[in-house]
A and B are shown apart, each in its own frame.
Chain A
Amino acid sequence: MILYYNLANFTIKMIKLRIILWVILAGVVGWLLYMGVAPSGKISYTYDFTKPNYFIEKLTPKERVKPIVCDKETEFPRGNSVSDAIFCSQVIIGDPVYFSLHTPRRFDEAMLTLKYRRQEIASPAGDPISIPLIEAGVLVDKIVWRYDLKPIENKIIDQLSLVWGETREGDTVLLQRDISTTSEPIKKYNSIQNFLDNLLASPKLGGPEINEIATYNYNLDTEYLLPDYKPSDEENKINYALRGPFQFYTYVKDEKLDFTFNFQDLNKNKDSDEINLYLYYNNQLIDSRHFDDDGVSENNNKITDRGEMKLKLANLPEGVYKIEIKTNDDIVTKSIKTKQQKLSFINKVWIYDSGNENIELYSDSSAINAQTINPANLQTIEINDDELEISETYKQFSIKIKGDIKKIKLQKDDVILSGNGVFSFNKESLISPEIKKVDVNMDIANENINYILANYNYPREEGEWKTAKAQFDLSKAYRENGKYSFLISVPGLKADDEIDDFIEISEIKINLQGTSLWEKLGLKK
């Protein structure tokens, strides 16, 4: 009887244990599904460098970062309050660095919070070294590797706000140069709206001149018109072959927009070689053209003709138009024929190896970068009266040049030219409709900037450490294998120089927001 009682008691205990264990497993599975679905549409991931994080992957490439260092926080205070907790951080020594964000599903928005500190020291030559800009970005286009960049810290704006004073409305800030001759500061415009209203007025009526305005992370819509422009029937042809993607500005007034592009495929890689053309007016896409891949999926290095792509549009309103050729580096634009008189390549142009020599270009960039991947085309480039030597392949060489328009003379082609302005093959076709940007190349004093308009929040400071936030629209971001690709850009920070400057990151936090489960199921509007 006792034995039977004990056996029954044990069986009940086992059943209870079985139920408990399976309930725990069901709970774990439920919790995993909850974390994966994120039914509220919100989830947060934090990488504090103490251990590898599945969601926020490590910073790469390893040549531009130092190994993660850990110490007690008391030895390395992050703020005013310190504890004995282990604190880890990683130093960035080169620009840019990348990290991937692994998410279980798509989200619409990401708020990136970066905890960092910076070290800026003088160069061996004694020049003051400054890292004026830190930005973060998310990859939005993998074909042309375009990142949507947002400010983390802009030291130019930080410092100017102390000297000029600021007018802030939400995230938007207006800095105005002090125009008073007395000790009492005078602001010309008492609000941002007042400044924007006066933008439309001529300088004689109190409006600011466009060339005395600089913007940062702010899309200032201004009408760029050329009063002396006259249309022509003469056909212009760019005979230099251009490799890869590019964008350019052109101008239309009482004429057709008329472009003919001739493409070739180098077949040097196995990727799909689609060619897309996009036409923008006032930042709005108004037309497009598309060429499918040629079907050659081999990297046989046999050049194939991809034919002509024509863009002819009539009755367009007067103004600046942007044309983007979106493709990969396998595609060469053999020639561009147009009846437009203005044609300026935006930020970058890669003149393909066709045996051309003594090529002249014009640019309004204050900093010009040059690079080649062809050992036979190492050369010295003349830029106005200065010289820029390309002495190594796959390395970017830079020079800062004063003056408005610079004449660039290449000895040979197959050079990638880039800068913060536009490039053109003749001086007359140079057109620069963009408002100056407060970036690493800006020289406030020499460029006569009197107004800065920015969408920017200053980082929060805790001792040496700063915390900054940047918001990203993930609905337009590129996502592959469940990953978004992020970048931290610190222009001017070079891993291979002899200067011991760096940015040290102690925490990356990302708050994600997207469609909730109820919205997905249509239960909530």
Chain B
Amino acid sequence: MLKNINTTLKEIFHVLSGALVIFVILEIIWHGIVLAYININWVLIFWLFTGILILILSNKNNGK
């Protein structure tokens, strides 16, 4: 079960990583195009949160 959650979180983490990279590149190329609608801080916080959860769950899985 934990492994499934961990795998799911990894998928979310990868998409969020992609989103962050794309958003930052878009902002560099065309200033304001992302920040006008999306607060990248929240994306970053959510990305960090999923990353930490993945680490915790991986540790638990390895502990078993």
Whether A14 pairs with B33 at a CB distance below 8 angstroms is: no
Flag whether A307 is at the interface (Cβ < 8 A). Answer: no
| Cα-based distance from A225 to B7 in the complex (angstroms) | 86
Within the complex, what minimum Cβ distance (angstroms) separates A58 from chain B? 16
Flag whether B42 is at the interface (Cβ < 8 A). Answer: no
Assuming the A-B contacts A17-B8, A18-B11, A25-B15, are A36 and B35 also in contact, with contact meaning beta carbons closer than 8 angstroms in the complex? no
B1-28 CB contact bits vs A (8 Å, 1 = yes)?
Answer: 0001001100110110011001000100
Q: Which residues of chain A come closer than 8 Å to B15, judged between CB atoms?
A: 18, 21-22, 24-25
Whether B36 pairs with A55 at a CB distance below 8 angstroms is: yes
Whether A17 pairs with B11 at a CB distance below 8 angstroms is: yes
Q: Which residues of chain B come closer than 8 Å to A35, judged between CB atoms?
A: 33, 36-37
Q: Which residues of chain A come closer than 8 Å to B4, judged between CB atoms?
A: 10
Whether A33 pairs with B33 at a CB distance below 8 angstroms is: yes
Whether A102 pairs with B34 at a CB distance below 8 angstroms is: no
Residues facing B in A15-30 (CB within 8 A) are 17-18, 21-22, 24-25, 28-29
Assuming the A-B contacts A32-B33, A32-B34, A104-B36, are A14 and B7 also in contact, with contact meaning beta carbons closer than 8 angstroms in the complex? yes
Q: Which residues of chain A come closer than 8 Å to B26, judged between CB atoms?
A: 29, 32
Q: Which residues of chain B come closer than 8 Å to A18, judged between CB atoms?
A: 11, 14-15
- Select one of B7, B18, B36 contacting A25, CB under 8 A: B18
Q: Which residue of B lies closest to A29 (CB)?
A: B22
Within the complex, what minimum Cβ distance (angstroms) separates A101 from chain B? 12
- Count contacts on B: residues with CB < 8 A to the other chain: 20
Within the complex, what minimum Cβ distance (angstroms) separates A40 from chain B? 17
Q: Which residues of chain A come closer than 8 Å to B18, judged between CB atoms?
A: 22, 25
| Cα-based distance from A55 to B32 in the complex (angstroms) | 9
Residues facing A in B17-64 (CB within 8 A) are 18-19, 22, 26, 30-38
Q: Which residue of B lies closest to A10 (CB)?
A: B4
Whether A14 pairs with B32 at a CB distance below 8 angstroms is: no
Q: Which residues of chain B come closer than 8 Å to A17, judged between CB atoms?
A: 8, 11
Report whether over half of chain A's contact residues are helix, strand or loop; otherwise say mixed.
helix
| Cα-based distance from A14 to B19 in the complex (angstroms) | 19
Residues facing B in A38-63 (CB within 8 A) are 54-55
Flag whether A482 is at the interface (Cβ < 8 A). Answer: yes
Whether B12 pairs with A21 at a CB distance below 8 angstroms is: yes
- Select one of B8, B22, B33 contacting A104, CB under 8 A: B33
Q: Which residue of A lies closest to B18 (CB)?
A: A25
- Chain A interface size, as a band, is 10 to 19
| Cα-based distance from A459 to B8 in the complex (angstroms) | 57
Whether B37 pairs with A14 at a CB distance below 8 angstroms is: no
Q: Which residue of B lies closest to A105 (CB)?
A: B30
Q: Which residue of A lies closest to B30 (CB)?
A: A36
Whether A14 pairs with B34 at a CB distance below 8 angstroms is: no
Within the complex, what minimum Cβ distance (angstroms) separates B22 from chain A? 6
| Cα-based distance from A22 to B30 in the complex (angstroms) | 22
| Cα-based distance from A453 to B14 in the complex (angstroms) | 65
| Cα-based distance from A22 to B32 in the complex (angstroms) | 23
| Cα-based distance from A32 to B37 in the complex (angstroms) | 8
Within the complex, what minimum Cβ distance (angstroms) separates A174 from chain B? 44
Whether B33 pairs with A36 at a CB distance below 8 angstroms is: yes
Within the complex, what minimum Cβ distance (angstroms) separates B46 from chain A? 13
Whether B11 pairs with A21 at a CB distance below 8 angstroms is: yes
Q: Which residues of chain A come closer than 8 Å to B19, judged between CB atoms?
A: 25, 28
Q: Which residues of chain A come closer than 8 Å to B11, judged between CB atoms?
A: 14, 17-18, 21
Q: Which residues of chain A come closer than 8 Å to B8, judged between CB atoms?
A: 14, 17
Q: Which residue of A lies closest to B8 (CB)?
A: A17
Assuming the A-B contacts A10-B4, A21-B12, A35-B37, are A54 and B22 also in contact, with contact meaning beta carbons closer than 8 angstroms in the complex? no
Whether A482 pairs with B33 at a CB distance below 8 angstroms is: no
Assuming the A-B contacts A21-B11, A25-B22, A29-B22, are A54 and B36 also in contact, with contact meaning beta carbons closer than 8 angstroms in the complex? yes
| Cα-based distance from A29 to B1 in the complex (angstroms) | 33
Q: Which residues of chain B come closer than 8 Å to A55, judged between CB atoms?
A: 36
Within the complex, what minimum Cβ distance (angstroms) separates A483 from chain B? 10
Q: Which residues of chain A come closer than 8 Å to B36, judged between CB atoms?
A: 35, 54-55, 102, 104
Q: Which residues of chain B come closer than 8 Å to A14, judged between CB atoms?
A: 7-8, 11
Q: Which among A28, A32, A102 has the highest number of chain B CB atoms within 10 Å?
A: A32
Whether A54 pairs with B35 at a CB distance below 8 angstroms is: yes
Whether B12 pairs with A482 at a CB distance below 8 angstroms is: no
Whether B31 pairs with A482 at a CB distance below 8 angstroms is: yes
Within the complex, what minimum Cβ distance (angstroms) separates A14 from chain B? 6
| Cα-based distance from A10 to B8 in the complex (angstroms) | 10
A1-23 CB contact bits vs B (8 Å, 1 = yes)?
Answer: 00000000010001001100110
Q: Which residues of chain A come closer than 8 Å to B14, judged between CB atoms?
A: 18
Whether A104 pairs with B30 at a CB distance below 8 angstroms is: yes
Within the complex, what minimum Cβ distance (angstroms) separates B35 from chain A? 7
| Cα-based distance from A35 to B36 in the complex (angstroms) | 10
Within the complex, what minimum Cβ distance (angstroms) separates B13 from chain A? 10
25 pairs, A vs B, C-beta closer than 8 Å = A14-B11, A17-B8, A18-B11, A21-B11, A21-B12, A21-B15, A22-B18, A24-B15, A25-B15, A25-B18, A25-B19, A28-B38, A29-B22, A32-B38, A35-B36, A36-B30, A54-B32, A54-B36, A54-B37, A55-B36, A102-B32, A102-B36, A104-B36, A482-B31, A482-B32
| B residues whose Cβ falls under 8 Å from a Cβ of A | 4, 7-8, 11-12, 14-15, 18-19, 22, 26, 30-38
User: What 4 pairs across the A-B complex have the smallest Cβ distances?
Assistant: A21-B15, A36-B33, A54-B36, A18-B11
